[in-house]
């Protein structure tokens, strides 16, 4: 499957000041597949060390982190001499061997010509507690579930995907193409962007089998909670995790600790939320006190919303049935628009945006506040075709933004300072602004 992050790997490879690369991302988002595909296309030789599948590799780092020693032993194991310039060395599930992560520092300092990538489903968790982390000696990339554009590429809609990626201006698409894209979006919201789920559906056209894969992925996450934290912490992480879909399903999607359990307090669950975020399983949007730059400087970290990394997994946890795909607007509006808001959050995060939202004292709210080119733009998410932009107007009256953005199932619309971007086009909203 084509992943847009592939181009970032090419840039990394061609960088004359290249550092070892840490590829982060949640379990099952396709990190291993992407690196193997990259190695096959771009290198003459590939040396793959998976520290979970082959525990023997852990012994390699127990005696010495000298780079010549490490390369010699890897060469002996694979029976092939490593030519650093034409080979890619891949440490997979690197969080299982902290010394392997530490060794990246010495590869950078002693053998910078080596092409080394380390990846792992829980690197974000281990990096935070790793005492010998090679600060300043590695580069970072993060892989997310497949975006809607990547979904279109996977289902053979290359021309439509290219149209969305290159679209500038807010001229409406033909209704034929608009309806076609809404149909794809509904299927994407149900299937989500986990590569195995999507590949299973493309191979079999069996929506029930795709749901089974989603449930298996959710079970693997639950096992990670227990495997990589204390018993008490695992219970709390699991409690937070299970509460997220039902918190999103409420009209007011602000995260409330009492929805986990009646006696819950922030001090009990703050670390659990941070664990889930470091593991790449959630995206957090903070309320801002005022839309000023930098947005993070005006964030109220006691008020926030929590979104899941993948819409398909959200649907699996809520046990949403597949018939919502064929009903006109059912999936968009299901659970108070939880799916479309979660989808927009994911698309913005994949583009590199931090998530913030705004709420007035009189209950007017704007779902996302974004910073682009030193300007601040409000984005309101609508699950239906309503023309009501009362909250945006309330925001505009107070802060006078240059543009007001709504994303909804409606087509592209431009009316003076107001722009409607269809949900399927939110990934390219910067070009619309430009």
Higher pLDDT pick, 330 / 167: 167
- Count other C-beta atoms under 10 Å from residue 194's C-beta: 26
pLDDT at 128 (0 to 100): 53
Smallest CA-to-CA distance from 381 within 415, 350, 357, 351 is with 357
Distance of CA 420 to CAs 84, 340, 344, 392, Å? 51, 15, 14, 12
Task: Tell me: do 180 and 96 sit in the same domain.
Answer: no
Task: Tell me: do 96 and 153 sit in the same domain.
Answer: no
Q: Of 126, 142, 158, which one is at a domain's C-terminal end?
A: 142
Residue 343 maps to a domain: yes
Residue 389 maps to a domain: yes
d(CA 312, CA 27): 14
Over residues 172-179, the mean pLDDT reads 97
Over residues 58-66, the mean pLDDT reads 89
pLDDT at 385 (0 to 100): 76
Over residues 168-187, the mean pLDDT reads 95
For 232-266, write each residue's pLDDT tens digit: 999 999 999 999 999 999 989 999 999 999 999 99
Strand order in the sheet with 21-24: 45-50, 87-92, 115-119, 21-24, 139-142
Task: Tell me: do 137 and 189 sit in the same domain.
Answer: no
Query: Which residues sit opposite 284 in a β-bridge?
Result: 306
Cis omega (within 30 of 0) for bond into 294: yes
Q: How many residues does the chain have?
A: 434
- What DSSP state is assigned to residue 123? H
d(CA 361, CA 201): 46
**Residue 275: pLDDT band with limits 50, 70, 90:** very high
Task: Tell me: do 286 and 325 sit in the same domain.
Answer: yes
Number of compact structural domains in the chain: 2
pLDDT at 325 (0 to 100): 83
pLDDT at 130 (0 to 100): 57
Task: Tell me: do 357 and 282 sit in the same domain.
Answer: yes
CA 254 from chain centre, in angstroms, equals: 20
**Residue 270: pLDDT band with limits 50, 70, 90:** very high
Helix (H) or strand (E) holding 46: strand 45-50
pLDDT at 129 (0 to 100): 59
pLDDT at 127 (0 to 100): 60
For 359-400, write each residue's pLDDT tens digit: 998 778 999 999 999 999 999 999 887 777 889 999 999 999
Residue 55 maps to a domain: yes
Q: Of 142, 169, 196, which one is at a domain's C-terminal end?
A: 142
Which of the residue ranges 120-124, 162-166, 351-355, 424-428 would you say has the lowest mean pLDDT? 120-124
Residue 1 maps to a domain: no
7 token code pair: 């181009």
d(CA 27, CA 217): 8
Q: E-assigned strands of 260-417?
A: 282-288, 299-308, 355-359, 365-366, 368-372, 375-381, 404-408, 413-415
The CATH code of the domain that includes 55 is 3.40.50.300
For 203-212, write each residue's pLDDT tens digit: 999 999 999 9
Q: Which domain holds residue 31?
A: 6-142
Task: Tell me: do 211 and 302 sit in the same domain.
Answer: yes
Task: Tell me: do 115 and 32 sit in the same domain.
Answer: yes
Task: Tell me: do 188 and 133 sit in the same domain.
Answer: no
Task: Tell me: do 394 and 422 sit in the same domain.
Answer: yes
Smallest CA-to-CA distance from 368 within 384, 351, 348, 383 is with 348
For 84-122, write each residue's pLDDT tens digit: 999 999 999 998 899 999 999 999 999 999 999 999 888
CA 31 from chain centre, in angstroms, equals: 12
pLDDT at residue 336 is higher than 90 = no
Q: Of 108, 142, 176, which one is at a domain's C-terminal end?
A: 142
Task: Tell me: do 129 and 92 sit in the same domain.
Answer: yes
Over residues 170-177, the mean pLDDT reads 96
Task: Tell me: do 169 and 296 sit in the same domain.
Answer: yes
Q: Name the CA dihedral angle for 397, 398, 403, 408, rounded to a multiple of 10 degrees.
A: -80
With a pLDDT cut of 70, the percent of the chain lying above it is: 98
Helix (H) or strand (E) holding 115: strand 115-119
pLDDT at residue 183 is higher than 80 = yes
For 391-418, write each residue's pLDDT tens digit: 999 999 999 999 999 999 999 999 999 9
């Amino acid at each position: 499957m084509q992943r847009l992050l592939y181009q970032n790997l090419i840039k990394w490879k061609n960088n004359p000041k290249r550092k070892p690369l840490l590829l982060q991302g949640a379990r099952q988002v396709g990190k291993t597949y992407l690196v193997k595909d990259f190695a096959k296309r771009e290198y003459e030789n590939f040396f793959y060390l998976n520290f979970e599948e082959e525990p023997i590799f852990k012994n390699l780092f127990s005696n010495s982190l000298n780079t010549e020693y490490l390369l010699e032993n890897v060469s002996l194991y694979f029976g092939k001499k490593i030519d650093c310039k034409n080979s890619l060395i891949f440490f997979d599930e690197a969080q299982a061997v902290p010394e392997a992560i530490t060794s990246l520092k010495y590869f950078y300092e002693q053998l910078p010509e080596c092409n080394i990538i380390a990846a792992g489903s829980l690197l974000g968790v281990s990096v935070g507690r790793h005492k010998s982390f090679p600060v300043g000696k590695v580069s970072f990339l993060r892989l997310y579930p497949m975006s809607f554009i990547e979904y279109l590429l996977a289902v053979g809609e290359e021309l439509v995907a290219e149209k969305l990626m290159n679209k500038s201006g807010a001229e409406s698409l033909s209704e034929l193409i608009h309806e076609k894209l809404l149909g794809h979006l509904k299927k994407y919201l149900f299937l989500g962007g986990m590569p195995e789920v999507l590949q299973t559906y493309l191979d079999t056209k069996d929506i029930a089998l795709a749901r089974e894969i989603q449930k298996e992925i959710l079970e693997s996450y639950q096992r990670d909670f227990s495997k990589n934290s204390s018993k008490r912490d695992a219970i709390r992480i699991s409690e937070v995790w299970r509460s997220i879909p039902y918190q999103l399903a409420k009209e007011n999607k602000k995260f409330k600790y009492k929805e986990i359990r009646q006696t819950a307090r922030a001090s009990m669950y703050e670390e659990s939320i941070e664990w889930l975020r470091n593991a790449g399983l959630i995206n957090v949007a903070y309320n801002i006190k005022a839309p000023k730059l930098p947005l993070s400087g005006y964030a109220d970290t006691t008020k926030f919303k929590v979104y899941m990394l993948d819409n398909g997994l959200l649907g699996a946890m809520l046990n949403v049935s597949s018939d919502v795909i064929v009903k006109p607007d059912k999936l968009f509006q299901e659970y108070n628009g939880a799916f479309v808001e979660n989808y927009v959050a994911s698309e913005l995060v994949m583009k590199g945006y931090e998530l913030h939202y705004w709420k007035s004292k009189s209950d007017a709210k704007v779902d996302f506040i974004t910073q682009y080119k030193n300007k601040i733009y409000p984005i309101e998410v609508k699950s239906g075709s309503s023309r009501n932009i009362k909250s945006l107007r309330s925001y505009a009256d107070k802060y006078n933004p240059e543009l007001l953005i709504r994303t909804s199932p409606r087509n592209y619309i431009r009316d003076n300072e107001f722009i409607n971007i269809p949900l399927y086009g939110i990934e390219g909203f910067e070009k619309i602004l430009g």
